[in-house]
Amino acid sequence: MIYVVATLTIKPGSLEALREPAAACMAETRKEKGCISYELFASLDDPQKLVFIEQWETREDLTAHSKQPHLLAWRDASAPHLVERRIEIVHPERIEQF
């Protein structure tokens, strides 16, 4: 099993515009092969920070997720609102950072 921690910094005032696209992506992602958990959290002390916490059975399942139309739609919808994206993929033996 692997974990993904994707931290997004968004532009001020962007949260409302991202709610619907994020919800649609999450609903479809949870149906994907290998998806154990896929959650989105907003920071309590920084309204411009969002954090996706994901659990996947395998790295291959996560790679397949990255090519799904609903994830590509989310990326297109969120792109104008992003300041920064940091992704960490936590394996039992190492951490990948992007």
> What pLDDT, on a 0 to 100 scale, did the predictor assign at position 31?
98
Length of the chain (residues): 98
Q: What is the pTM of this model?
A: 0.91
Domains of the chain, first to last: 2-97 (3.30.70.100)
For residue 10, what pLDDT is reported?
98
Q: Is 77 helix (H, G, I), strand (E, B) or coil?
A: helix
| 10-residue averages of pLDDT along the chain (98 residues) | 97 95 98 98 94 97 98 97 97 93
Q: What is the pLDDT of residue 65?
A: 98
At residue 55, the pLDDT reads 98
Report residue 30 as tokens: 């949870």
